[in-house]
Amino acid sequence: MARINDNYLKLQAGYLFPEISRRISEFTQANPEANVIRLGIGDVTRPLVPAVLKAFHEGVDEMAAVETFHGYGPEQGYDWLAQTIVDKAYKPLGVDLKPSEVFISDGSKCDTGNILDIFDLGNKVAIGDPVYPVYNDTNVMVGRSGEMDDQGYYEGLVYMPCTEENGFNPEFPKEKVDLIYLCFPNNPTGTVATKEQLQGWVDYALANDAIILFDAAYEAYITEAGVPHSIYEIEGSKQCAMEFRSFSKTAGFTGVRCGLTVVPEELMGTTATGEKYSINKLWNRRQCTKFNGVSYPVQKAAAAVYSDEGWAQTKEIIDFYMENARIIREGLTTAGFQCFGGINAPYIWLKTPAGMTSWDFFDKLLNECFVVGTPGSGFGPSGEGYFRLSAFGERDNIVKAVQRIKEKWGK
Ligand SMILES: *Cc1c(COP(=O)(O)O)cnc(C)c1O
């Protein structure tokens, strides 16, 4: 009989979101009249903007005629989309990239997981705690870890606690690591890193021959001037960092699927015999072999995000979500909660009152306010005692949810 990859059995069996669903359905069965407001999930709610939709439709129509039909495209994505990203997403930041350094994909969940294909299992990996679970679980799946301990940490992975004390910007790992996952603006804490803090990481990576895997999925939500949108705004970063971006949260592409990974030509790893080797070449080889590109209409739609009209419309939706975030953050602060994030990210990370556990707070919020959020402990041990509320949602729901919480906890 075929042997399975036993590493999968080390994973906690899809615990967080199924458990949330179970508790919601238990509650709604007992309270069918309750109007439950869900601020738990990390998915957008607003539809695609008109300019994007128009380009998407045009792309589909082109597929209908012999003259304009598109079959397989380049595995790395169409050059015109890569060039648009170089010009519209990076040049304004003062970052010069070549289209050959931009790899278009079907999303950055896939890319952050797939990237492990090109790195040796012997690499030490550092991840944040709390964390976007993909970084943790994909490393467990490839066999980089041992079993999970009682606390929820996997043996062999290096965890970097992100706490109130360190401003949710982790300290450098105490042991030597080779790959460092960073996510700013952060999911789940909603916090950002300053230019100086990111410079610290780049200097650290250069000094330790490590590579930073920088997830910038939420960069479009940054509202404060001076907060870096890209790791490439940091000096020396092209020698030590790759960056993941996505149209998912930026432009509502969670159900459309388009993302990108930047791998600068300067970025090098080492072979078993100690020679330098281009990470760009390796990732290109990986994608050409295992990926066949993103569909043509989707890439047309993605390019339209960066048209003048498309960006104005896209920005309006981001502003809408960020106004939601402001309403949540200010409302909860008024109600006496300590809140983090929500200024440069669509997530509010609040401290549970009176030292309640994340799950106790989840139950209380559901039972007394009919509001659903995400228990911080589901993102890692250091998330215990915290709770994530998402700013994705319709305005009246957001206002209603905040009102209920204020009535319950406000003085
Ligand atoms: C939503 C999200 C992504 C984007 O994933 P896609 O696969 O592009 O939809 C990436 N990283 C983080 C931290 C996210 O929350």
Residue 358 neighbours by CB distance under 10 Å: 20
Q: pTM above 0.95? A: yes
Find residue 268's DSSP bridge partners: 278
Question: CA 205 → CA 69, 197, 211, 281, 305, distances in Å?
Answer: 45, 13, 6, 21, 33
- Reported as type and span, the H/E element at residue 299 is helix 296-305
The verdict on domain 52-307 having CATH code 1.10.490.10 is no
Find residue 347's DSSP bridge partners: 390
pLDDT of residue 14: 67
All CATH 3.40.640.10 domain ranges of the chain, comma separated, are: 52-307
Question: CA 101 → CA 75, 264, 380, distances in Å?
Answer: 13, 5, 33
- Ligand 1 atom with minimal separation from the 258 CA: 8
* Residue 13 backbone dihedrals phi, psi, to 5 degrees: -70, 90
Q: Is 45 in the pocket of ligand 1 (CB under 6 A)?
A: no
Say whether 234 sits in a helix, a strand or coil: coil
Q: How far is the CA of 160 from the centre of ligand 1 (A)?
A: 20
Residue nearest to ligand 1 atom 12, measured at CA: 217
pLDDT of residue 411: 60
Give Cβ neighbours of residue 362 (< 8 Å, ≥ 6 apart).
20, 23, 372, 373, 374, 375, 387
Lookup result for tokens 């997530």: 347
Give Cβ neighbours of residue 185 (< 8 Å, ≥ 6 apart).
191, 192, 218, 219, 221, 222, 341, 344, 345
pLDDT of residue 42: 86
Q: Is 259 in the pocket of ligand 1 (CB under 6 A)?
A: yes
CA distance 398 to 400: 5
* Residue 323 backbone dihedrals phi, psi, to 5 degrees: -70, -40
Question: CA 396 → CA 93, 158, 401, 402, distances in Å?
Answer: 35, 42, 8, 10
- Each residue's pLDDT expressed in tens, for the chain with a length of 411 residues: 999 999 999 998 767 888 999 999 999 999 999 999 999 878 999 999 999 999 999 999 999 999 999 999 999 999 999 999 999 999 999 999 999 999 999 999 999 999 999 999 999 999 999 999 999 999 999 999 999 999 999 999 999 999 999 999 999 999 999 999 999 999 999 999 999 999 999 999 999 999 999 999 999 999 999 999 999 999 999 999 999 999 999 999 999 999 999 999 999 999 999 999 999 999 999 999 999 999 999 999 999 999 999 999 999 999 999 999 999 999 999 999 999 999 999 999 999 998 899 999 999 999 999 999 999 999 999 999 999 999 999 999 999 999 999 999 876
- Ligand 1 atom with minimal separation from the 183 CA: 13
CA distance 89 to 272: 36
The amino acid occupying position 208 is N
Residue 13 neighbours by CB distance under 10 Å: 7
The amino acid occupying position 229 is H
CA 106 to centroid of chain Cα atoms: 14
Q: How far is the CA of 41 from the centre of ligand 1 (A)?
A: 12
CA distance 198 to 204: 10
In terms of CATH, what superfamily is 6-47+310-409? Aspartate Aminotransferase, domain 1 (3.90.1150.10)
Q: What angle do CA 28, 32, 33 make, to 5 degrees?
A: 125
CA distance 410 to 42: 26
Q: Is 388 in the pocket of ligand 1 (CB under 6 A)?
A: no
Q: Is 183 in the pocket of ligand 1 (CB under 6 A)?
A: yes
Residue nearest to ligand 1 atom 14, measured at CA: 217
Q: Is 201 in the pocket of ligand 1 (CB under 6 A)?
A: no
The answer to whether 144 touches 177, Cβ cutoff 8 Å, is no
Residue 91 neighbours by CB distance under 10 Å: 12
All CATH 3.90.1150.10 domain ranges of the chain, comma separated, are: 6-47+310-409
Q: How far is the CA of 364 from the centre of ligand 1 (A)?
A: 29
Lookup result for tokens 């106790």: 360
Question: CA 111 → CA 287, 347, 405, distances in Å?
Answer: 10, 22, 38
Q: How far is the CA of 64 from the centre of ligand 1 (A)?
A: 32
Q: Is 374 in the pocket of ligand 1 (CB under 6 A)?
A: no
pLDDT digits (tens, 9 = 90+) for 59-100: 999 999 999 999 999 999 999 999 999 999 999 999 999 999
CA distance 103 to 244: 10
Read off the tokens for 82.
Answer: 């890569």
pLDDT of residue 226: 96
CA distance 229 to 217: 10
Q: Is 107 in the pocket of ligand 1 (CB under 6 A)?
A: yes
